[in-house]
Structure 1
Amino acid sequence: MEKQTLRMTVTLILLTGTGCSSDENARVAELATQQLERQSEQNQRMAELQQEVASGSRELVEADARSRQEMVTLQREMQTERNEIGHQRDQLEAERREIADRRNRDPIIAAAITRVAMVVVSLLPLLICWLLLQQKVEPADKNEITELLLDDLVSADPRLMPPATSKSDKLRLTDLPQPPDTPSTERET
């Protein structure tokens, strides 16, 4: 633009100097003056436009910087969320493995407990027999056995011999009449 203004000014000066009349010189000088004024206004407008473009560019750069900062913040937040999701996934995977291990281990433990219980139950009668065999039993003498059998025969609730049924024709010793004298002394001796 400045080159065009320079050409016009040079052209006007050449036209002025080529020998025109004074009216024409005045008129050409006036045109050159007007042209210079227009040129100065255009230069002023260009300067204002350049300032506006510069301020707009500055605002654009600032807005771009803010948007980049926001993008960086959002990326950090997304990374934090990804880390959290990854941590939760790891916990979930650990729980899944633990449950799978438990599913494999529990039937084995249950089977082992059942087998141990069966062995204990199987050995319990043997243990009882062994304990019974380990006890020292002193043989009873004939008097004690006789006395025990007689007491059972005489008692109302016999423990060794079955009780007599009502249809039975056999009589027990307790059914027989006893003399009023002391029967207990006879048994004691």
Structure 2
Amino acid sequence: MNIFNTRLMLLTITLRIFGCSSDSADDEYRRLVEDLSRQQVAQQEALIQQSQDLTEASKQLVDADATARRELSEMQSRLQQEFASGRQSIDGQRQKLDNERREIATQRHRDPLIATALLQTVTLIVAALPLVLLLLLIRATRNEPVQLPLAELLVEDLVAEKPLLFPGPVSPQRALISPDEPAESPDTPDVGEPSDRPTGSDPET
């Protein structure tokens, strides 16, 4: 607006200096005023359009900045979640490895103890087995005195250096004979029975 007024004042001064008071000068002056008015309107429209474009560009820039900030925030949140999930998974795997390591260490410490206990138990059972058999035999001999020689035979077989557990069938007569009592020979005659052989001398002699 100031430029238009300045131009209009300069034009008026110029016309007054040259003394143009004719109709042609008025027409020229009117034409110039109209041209200046149109130029001013065009400039104002251009300024308004530029202002609108600038406003639209600013709005788009603000929207783009907000979108970029939102996307950046979402990306940061997603990265943080992925990092936290990965770290949690790593911590879980590390805890699992530690548990497995402790279990292996405990098993290594426990297995020898179990093996030693089993070996000692088996040794005690094997060592106590003859005693148990001996107690059973003693109890059986107390209940049945007739089987005493058989019990003594079994005891001698158990305490022998090379035991022979029933190497062959044992006859009932041999089982009833005591080992301290000598066996009688069937061919030996009894003392009370008379002998068929003559005891005196020959009468013919």
Same structural fold, with TM-score higher than 0.5 when normalized by the shorter chain: yes
Does residue 66 in structure 1 map to residue 91 in structure 2? no
Q: Please give the residue correspondences for 1:9-158 in structure 2 after superposition, counting only pairs within 5 Å.
A: 9-22=8-21, 23-132=24-133, 134-135=135-136, 136=138, 138=141, 145=149, 158=169
Partners in 2 of 1:62 and 1:158 — Cα distance?
Answer: 112
Give, in whole Å, the separation in 1 of the partners of 2:46 and 2:147.
Answer: 149
Name the amino acid aligned to 1:79.
Q
* Contact 1:5 1:39 survives alignment (8 Å): yes
Matches of 1:118 and 1:105 in 2, distance apart? 20
1:95 and 1:144 map into 2 onto residues whose CA distance is 67
Q: Distance in 1 between matches of 2:147 and 2:8?
A: 165
TM-score by length of 1: 0.64
Tell me the matched-pair count.
152
Q: Is 102-111 or 121-130 further displaced after alignment?
A: 121-130
Partner residue in 2 for 1:177: none
Distance of aligned partners of 1:13 and 1:129 in 2 relative to their CA distance in 1, 3 Å threshold: farther
Rg comparison, structure with higher value = 2
Structure 1 residue 11: Cα displacement: 2.0
Measured against aligned partners, the alpha-carbon deviations of 1:7-55 in whole angstroms (never above 9, x if no partner) come to 3233223323435312345424422331221111111121122112212
> Normalising to structure 2: TM-score of the pair?
0.60
Taking CA–CA contacts closer than 8 Å with sequence separation of 6 or more, which of the two structures ends up with the larger relative contact order?
A: 2
Range moving further from structure 2, 67-76 or 100-109: 67-76
Once the two structures are overlaid, the 10-residue window that deviates more, 5-14 or 65-74, is 5-14
What is the RMSD computed on CA atoms of the aligned residues? 3.3
* Structure 1 position 145, deviation (Å): 4.3
> Gaps spanning 5+ residues in structure 2: where?
154-167, 175-185, 187-205
1:86–1:142 CA distance, 2 compared to 1 (3 A): closer
Unaligned runs of 5+ in 1: 150-156, 162-172, 174-189
